[in-house]
Amino acid sequence: MMKELKKKLTERMAANRPLQRLKKTCHAIQAERLWHQQHDKRLNLILTLVFPLFIVCLAELNQFVEFSQFLTFCIERPTVIMFDFLMAYLMFAALLLFTNRVWIAAWIQGIAYMLISIVELFKYSTNGNHFKLADISLAPNVKNLTSFAYIKITPSLVIYVLMAAAFLLMIFYQNPKFTASWRKRLLPAIGCTMVYISVICIPAISEHVYGAFDVDTTESQNAFSTNEKFERNSMLAFIAETTSEKLSNILSAPDDYSQELVESVITGSAREESCDERPNVIVVMSESFADFRRLSELKLDTDAYDAYDAAAKRCEQIAVAVPTFASYTVRTEFELMYGLPVRSLMDTITPQREIVPELPSSMVSHLSGIGYQTAYVHPFTSTFYGRDEIYATYGFDRMLFDENFTVPVEEFGNGYISDDTVFRQLLQLISETEEPLYAHATTMQNHQPYDWIENQSELDVYLEGIRVTGAAFERLLDGLEALDEPTVLIFVGDHYPSMRGEGNLYDALGIDSENCAVLYEQPALIWTNTKTDFSAIPKERFSLFYLTPLVCRTAGLPMSAFYETVLAQMPQTPVYTSIFMEEDVRNEVLDLLTYDRIVGENYSGELRTAPEETE
């Protein structure tokens, strides 16, 4: 009995030894921290005062290829760096006053600055677009984003991260002393926080502060002007200024917004059905599909578009202005599904998140309301951009993501589900649906990265995907003809593909904010096996959001007064896409209808005829 007790006691003591050693080590470290706090006051004061300068320089330096480039920026744009220092000291002071611990304030700010710096570095190297604070809305999709991001750990990045970690550990070990009662700290803490927030959030203050420090406040009309602003402001001032710009452009209700005002602009007359048999309406939004032959500077000689050209000869060919470049596919999806312009939502990067879900009114609900079965097909993760939850409110009868396909799935060389698989899924949906079908398919095959073929340029790898898409599209048209169901098909690319950051194809071609409009124009195809008069569809470029309701009208489908009112704006405003517009040019009718349908009271939601006709 005594032997067993002794054995258990020995085992318990042995189990507790690691914990005891850990406690002993922690006590020793704490004792050393207290000693340094008392005896290294001058060093601790220097560390405390220098930290905001250090972390700003390190975060900014991470964005430059060489130290000399950062030094040149500091010499040429000294006031911008001074603005970064000012904002960093305001943040550090607020954190210090709230936490009452120097090392905690430094760790919070240091980790935040370095994380933002690393995210910016990876984002730009992935798609040539710079990080904005608004991109945080994509944080829930970080797993999906990393699946196609170019994440390259460079020696300089490792050095900067180690430098930041070393400084933070030194501050923790030295344990600079800062003690003050809540009464003494509360008001200054609130004051620093309010000054920081005011500089970012209050336009009247932002304007003067940015002006005093010569921070570039040029309105960003496109991805290229945004990137040029980054070059003039660098990272920290860029993030602050673009956040201020975003907040100053928050969507607000039109003047005198009311049901009466909405009804007063619904002037279009509802159109009755004019077709003998309602056709299927199929929309194919092809990921990153673009015709690089339109860039004359490229002098492209390739047969990658041969199959696409053969298919195009069987279709009506038009040109549309799309609302995005290189990323934010959901902008293009929104315009196709809602028949409304992203410009009227202040060019938000995620328009689907602006929608009030209680009363959704879209092309989906319109076609569903006249007897169509509806389906959304996207061969990727359902949670990306929150599609599974948000698009469910649109009224789709079925939503098929990568795990829901009912046809054999084939992957393309880059690991995405092939366009051919998506097209076969569409054919199956048509054949198994008794009612006419409206289906929207957003493909993934040609999404970046374009590095799955060794020793090939990004463009060459991209064009290999285009070659495969063209052949699959031809087979889709053959399949539609074989089904022999009345069908109207729209095919359009969502945007030009994104390329890597430094030295990408667009830079090599000399494309900038002055000549980038060509990248916001896409060819679109309309195929039908019904007798359809396309003469009403303009040959000149028009904005994408007009396309779906315009095709439905051309196909002879019943049209609500709402969409007839939208289409009535087309003769006077054929293009309502920001890249092609002056900043102060607004279409008040489109802005009002978009606000009403998306974030307002949806007064127009039940208006299938004009108000006077209803009376």
pLDDT at residue number 3: 62
519 belongs to a structural domain? yes
Confidence of residue 610 (pLDDT cuts 50, 70, 90): very low
* Cross-strand partners of 319: 523
Q: Note whether 399 and 544 are same-domain residues.
A: yes
Collapsing DSSP to helix, strand or coil, 139 comes out as helix
Q: C-alpha distances in angstroms, 129 versus 135, 224, 447, 469, 577?
A: 11, 8, 15, 26, 19
* Cross-strand partners of 524: 318, 492
Q: Note whether 411 and 458 are same-domain residues.
A: yes
Q: Note whether 433 and 384 are same-domain residues.
A: yes
Where a domain ends, among 176, 207, 242? 242
pLDDT at residue number 105: 96
Q: Note whether 237 and 267 are same-domain residues.
A: no
Mean pLDDT over 190-206 rounds to 95
pLDDT of 387 strictly over 60 = yes
pLDDT tens column, 419-461: 999 999 999 999 999 999 999 999 999 998 888 888 889 999 9
547 belongs to a structural domain? yes
Collect all residues with Cβ–Cβ distance below 8 Å to 79 and sequence separation of at least 6. 212, 213, 214, 215
Q: Note whether 306 and 454 are same-domain residues.
A: yes
Q: Note whether 407 and 276 are same-domain residues.
A: yes
Collect all residues with Cβ–Cβ distance below 8 Å to 120 and sequence separation of at least 6. 63, 130, 131, 235
Confidence of residue 380 (pLDDT cuts 50, 70, 90): very high
**Alpha helices (H) in 213-357, listed in sequence order:** 223-248, 259-265, 306-312, 329-338
SS3 sequence of 487-521 = EEEEEEECCCCCCCCCCCHHHHCCCCCCCHHHHHE
Q: Note whether 277 and 172 are same-domain residues.
A: no
| Residue 568's CATH number | 3.40.720.10
pLDDT tens column, 544-593: 999 999 999 999 999 999 999 999 999 999 999 999 988 788 999 999 99
509 belongs to a structural domain? yes
Domain that holds residue 15: 1-30
Where a domain ends, among 184, 208, 242? 242
Q: Identify the helix (H) or strand (E) that includes residue 376.
A: strand 373-377
For residue 524, give the nearest of 316, 363, 379, 333 by alpha carbon.
Answer: 316
For residue 319, give the nearest of 283, 342, 294 by alpha carbon.
Answer: 294
Contact call for residues 306 and 470 (beta carbons, < 8 A): yes
Q: Work out the percent of the chain whose per-residue pLDDT is above 70.
A: 92
252 belongs to a structural domain? no
466 belongs to a structural domain? yes
Q: Note whether 316 and 221 are same-domain residues.
A: no
Least confident among 149-153, 193-197, 298-302, 503-507 = 149-153
In angstroms, rounded to a whole number, what is the distance separating the alpha carbons of residues 53 and 46?
Answer: 11
Average pLDDT, the chain: 90
At 595, list the tokens.
């606000």
Distance of CA 610 to the CA centre of its chain: 36
Q: Note whether 66 and 23 are same-domain residues.
A: no
Contact call for residues 367 and 374 (beta carbons, < 8 A): yes
Q: Work out the percent of the chain whose per-residue pLDDT is above 90.
A: 65
Collect all residues with Cβ–Cβ distance below 8 Å to 164 and sequence separation of at least 6. 55, 58, 110, 114
315 belongs to a structural domain? yes
Q: Identify the helix (H) or strand (E) that includes residue 523.
A: strand 521-528
Confidence of residue 27 (pLDDT cuts 50, 70, 90): confident
Where a domain ends, among 212, 242, 272? 242
Strands (E), 274-362: 280-286, 316-321
Mean pLDDT over 246-264 rounds to 90
pLDDT of 612 strictly over 50 = no
Q: Note whether 281 and 224 are same-domain residues.
A: no
pLDDT at residue number 12: 62
- How many domains, the chain? 3
pLDDT of 396 strictly over 50 = yes
pLDDT at residue number 18: 73
DSSP conformational letter for 559: B
Contact call for residues 323 and 336 (beta carbons, < 8 A): no
Q: Note whether 322 and 416 are same-domain residues.
A: yes
Q: Note whether 231 and 298 are same-domain residues.
A: no
pLDDT of 57 strictly over 90 = yes
**Identity of the residue numbered 57:** C
pLDDT tens column, 260-269: 999 999 987 7
pLDDT at residue number 606: 58
Residue identified by tokens 């945080």 is 136
Confidence of residue 215 (pLDDT cuts 50, 70, 90): very high
